[in-house]
Amino acid sequence: MAASQPFSVAMQGGLDKSSNTMELLAKPGVATKLTNFEISTRGGYRRINGFTQLGDGTRPNSSNDIEGLHVYADGVIAAAGTNMYFSQDGDSWLQINKASVAGGGDNYTAFTGRSALTRTSQSKASFATFEGNTVYGEVIITDEGSGVKPFYFKMTGTGDALSSRTYFAKEITVSGTHYPKFCVIHDKHLVVAGAATALNTIFYSGTSDIDDFTSTGSGSIVLDDQVVGLKSFRNELFIFCKNSIYKLQNINDSSTIAVVPVTKNVGCVDGKTIQEFAGDLIFLAPDGFRTIAGTARIGDVELGTVSKMIQPVINDIFDNIVDYEFSSVVLRDKSQYRMYYSGSAEATQNSKGITGTLTSRGFEWSEIVGIQAPAIASGFNFAGKEKVYHGDRNGYIYNHDTGSAFNPEGTETNIFAEYQSPDFDYGDFGTLKTLDHVKVSLRPEGATDPTLRVRFDFDTPDRIQPNDVSLETNDPAIFGLSLFGTTSKFGAAESPLIRQPVQGSGHSNFFKIFSEDTNAPYTINGLYINYRPSGRQ
Amino acid sequence: MATTYLTLTNEVLRELNEIQLTSATFSDAVGIQAFIKESINKALNDIANEEPQLPFFATATSGDTDPFYGNVNVSTVAGTRWYLLKADSSSITTDYSAVDWDNFYLTTIGVSGETAPYVSKGLKFITLTDWTRYIRDSENADDADTQNYGEPKYVVRSPDNRKFGISPIPDKVYKVYFYSYVAPTELSAHGDTIVLPDQYASVVTARTRYYVHQFKESLQQAAFALDDYKKGMKRMKSNLINPQPKNMTDDRVYF
């Protein structure tokens, strides 16, 4: 046989749906399928974590949809059905949309005894926290159903028991019967917008007086376009409209306050997609994900599309956009932006998402399937710990991005994860190559058993394709981390290089590594392939 | 148990690190797998072409109609000179691949109505040239005139290699026994077996590899495979055709 040749590939570049098959020959590190994998902060493609039920799985409001979540104090606020709730642990929920709460605050008994201030026709909820000078800050909640006034909630008291705390709750009157949909805290002001009765008007509260829209510093501005989202970024407030983007400057100076257009050509598809991420704002525009890079160049705004690599995925979303509900979150420790989208009647297993991870090479993307998250939130709680929660349309709330399995409604479910490389031509598409073996560099986080599949010549039916093989790995025992007597294996490598003989020949081939189980996550670092070139058939 | 077509194919596929077939995928083989299947049949034909009288190509077991020599027989008809070597063959493509012309045997034993003393003797092979030069004319004249015919003494091969002739033209019914060999049946189904004993299956795979390496433009590997094949053939012929003790006789007479 001809002398064997080596070929190494490091996993980098993320999902590439935009390059054609020939272009992909020059980009072996990217993935043509990358489902339920994420770009690891340590390099490579990592199977995502699962999610677990928050607490014992008690739902705040029966099977009513979770309309919004917000990390607050030492727990989470959930908008569910026509009510709102707070919980520290997910085991029990305190209804917080209460009427007639005393101006000086209610103790626990008084608060729980108040009648409900029903959030009629509550739809998606927007949250904003004004840190102020209180322990937990003050929360404003607006309703995208535009059927109720913004709701104000505050909790004080440092004891662990909710019964030892003081509660403040009320509705905020913005202007007449305007019920804004969106809210944000910007430079000592509460800014709201998007009321069904004033779609193109933003209202801002008095300075350091977030529950009063008549006091000093308050006002309103009428724009050309309908507002779909608000985001405070550094010293400017970005106002995302359907077909344009503005920024509000100098909100604290009535003589120089101004709304400056950023662009009148690009708008935002859904305000729920806007996130501040890695020193920038990212949002879903009609042509894909874009960032607004506020740089040191004062007044200069750079718009850039960052999702060209997954444009076909974006196009699929736009083909069904009227059916989709969006949510997004930033996982700060992973430098990762996640956007979830699904139809209101979509089954959990068909619900989808997109992850965008900022790497030294720019944004790299992957897809998520099997997480229904119409509501999702991340934030640092009172203890300074980042918490991420998501809620589904059946009233359940989950700890997001944790564990090794999906747990919709408390049922442990396999995570189907799939990585597929582009076809490798090993530098010469015309030469027939017979594969000898492949070494898969993995970094398992426990016992894992992914499957390796090899397909030749773009999976043509004109070639017999080899059987799948297992890439079983042991749980490596890490000094200082592993416990004696557990499943960890002494001597198991942290990043094993699994040598797998493979058979078959073709002019090109791709590798697919996939798993559908509840095993621990693993990272695919790269592939080393040994092959033997033969003639040009 | 004889090696099956599937086993043989997978043996070659394994040697080449190609994807093996199963009984389920065998019939739908494409690409290199299909080529190897074809090459195995080519290899078997190559072996048969190179040495058609290897014992496993024999039409039938010798001595089936004990005690007669040969593995097939043809009954003669009085006054008929030429007989198809394979009576039921419709064309040369279905004829025997080889006949041992040195081993034709004539007898009346087993012929209906014949009693002792029987005719029982070998037929001497003469070339067509000798037969046409010295015998044909007189026999043809007899056939056209007195029709005495006679007891055959010679066997002759027809120019198209499909028939044998006997001379003189037989005067009655005889049985002519001889040895014949068939070409290997083309393998088709995965369970089809080769006629070679297992120990010689490597000769088939060597020849197959020779073709496959040429297909893959691995000329050096093809040369190695060809060498393996030649050595295998040599050993096979030595073991199966000439296994008997080597004796030398000398009939010179010294005065």
Whether the CB of A1 is below 8 Å from some CB of chain B: the reply is yes
Shortest CA gap B42–chain A (Å): 20
User: Do residue A504 and residue B216 have CB atoms under 8 angstroms apart?
Assistant: no
| Chain B residues within 8 A of A467 when measuring between CB atoms | 19
Question: Can you say whether residue A55 is alpha, beta or left, with left for phi > 0 and alpha for psi between -120 and 50 degrees?
Answer: left
Query: What is the average pLDDT value for chain A, to the nearest integer?
Result: 90
> pLDDT tens, A316-373?
999 999 899 999 999 998 999 999 999 989 999 999 999 999 999 989 999 999 999 9
User: Do residue B18 and residue A505 have CB atoms under 8 angstroms apart?
Assistant: yes
Q: Note whether A351 and A371 are within 8 A (CB).
A: yes
Q: What local confidence, expressed as pLDDT, does residue A478 receive?
A: 62
User: Do residue B221 and residue A1 have CB atoms under 8 angstroms apart?
Assistant: yes
Residues of B contacting chain A (CB within 8 angstroms) = 13, 16-21, 25, 29-33, 215-218, 221
Shortest CA gap B191–chain A (Å): 20
SS3 A17: coil
B51 pLDDT higher than 90: yes
**Residue among B13, B21, B217 minimizing CB distance to A534:** B217
> pLDDT tens, A147-204?
899 999 999 987 789 999 999 999 999 988 899 999 999 999 999 999 999 999 999 9
Gyration radius of chain B's alpha carbons: 23
A298 pLDDT higher than 60: no
Q: Note whether A333 and A350 are within 8 A (CB).
A: no
Shortest CA gap A507–chain B (Å): 12
ω into A180 cis (within 30 of 0):
no
What letter would DSSP give residue A481?
A: T
Contacts 24+ apart (CB under 8 A), B226-230: B228/B202, B229/B43, B229/B203
B106-118 core/surface letters (b: 16 or more CB in 10 A; e: else): bbbeebeebeeee
Shortest CA gap B46–chain A (Å): 24
Q: Note whether A193 and A203 are within 8 A (CB).
A: yes
Shortest CA gap A467–chain B (Å): 8
Instruction: Kindly identify which residue of chain A lies nearest to residue B21, measuring between CA atoms.
Output: A464
User: Do residue B33 and residue A464 have CB atoms under 8 angstroms apart?
Assistant: yes
| Chain A residues within 8 A of B30 when measuring between CB atoms | 461-464
Q: At what angle do helices B201-215 and B31-50 cross, to 10 degrees?
A: 130
Shortest CA gap A432–chain B (Å): 8
Instruction: Kindly identify which residue of chain A lies nearest to residue B225, measuring between CA atoms.
Output: A1
| Chain A residues within 8 A of B18 when measuring between CB atoms | 434, 503-505
User: Do residue A504 and residue B19 have CB atoms under 8 angstroms apart?
Assistant: yes
Give the pLDDT band (50/70/90) at residue B251. Answer: confident
Q: What local confidence, expressed as pLDDT, does residue A295 receive?
A: 34
> pLDDT tens, A31-86?
999 999 999 999 999 999 999 999 999 999 999 999 999 999 999 999 999 999 99
Instruction: Kindly identify which residue of chain A lies nearest to residue B32, measuring between CA atoms.
Output: A463
Q: Among residues A259, A197, A228, which one has the least CA distance to residue A126?
A: A228
Instruction: Kindly identify which residue of chain A lies nearest to residue B221, measuring between CA atoms.
Output: A1
Whether the CB of A349 is below 8 Å from some CB of chain B: the reply is no
**Distance between CA A224 and CA B196 in Å, rounded?**
90
User: Do residue B20 and residue A503 have CB atoms under 8 angstroms apart?
Assistant: yes
Q: Among residues A79, A56, A54, which one has the least CA distance to residue A66?
A: A79
User: Do residue B21 and residue A432 have CB atoms under 8 angstroms apart?
Assistant: no
**Distance between CA B176 and CA B156 in Å, rounded?**
13
Backbone angles phi, psi at A64, to 5 degrees: -65, 145
Q: What local confidence, expressed as pLDDT, does residue A299 receive?
A: 43
Q: What local confidence, expressed as pLDDT, does residue A479 receive?
A: 61
Query: What is the average pLDDT value for chain B, to the nearest integer?
Result: 92
Q: Which of residues 479-508 of A touch B (CB under 8 A)?
A: 503-505
**Residue among B31, B215, B217 minimizing CB distance to A464:** B31
User: Do residue B21 and residue A464 have CB atoms under 8 angstroms apart?
Assistant: yes
Other CB atoms within 10 Å distance of the CB of residue A60: 27
| Chain A residues within 8 A of B13 when measuring between CB atoms | 503
User: How many percent of chain A have pLDDT more than 70?
Assistant: 93
Is the ipTM higher than 0.85? The answer is no
User: Do residue A464 and residue B19 have CB atoms under 8 angstroms apart?
Assistant: yes
> pLDDT tens, A469-525?
998 877 666 666 666 666 666 666 667 888 999 999 999 999 999 999 999 999 999
> pLDDT tens, A425-473?
999 999 999 999 999 999 998 889 999 999 999 999 888 899 999 988 7
Question: In a 10 Å sphere around its CB, with 0-12 CB exposed, 13-18 middle and 19+ buried, how is residue A144 labelled?
Answer: buried
Q: Among residues A106, A129, A219, which one has the least CA distance to residue A183?
A: A129
Other CB atoms within 10 Å distance of the CB of residue B152: 23
pTM score of the predicted model: 0.85
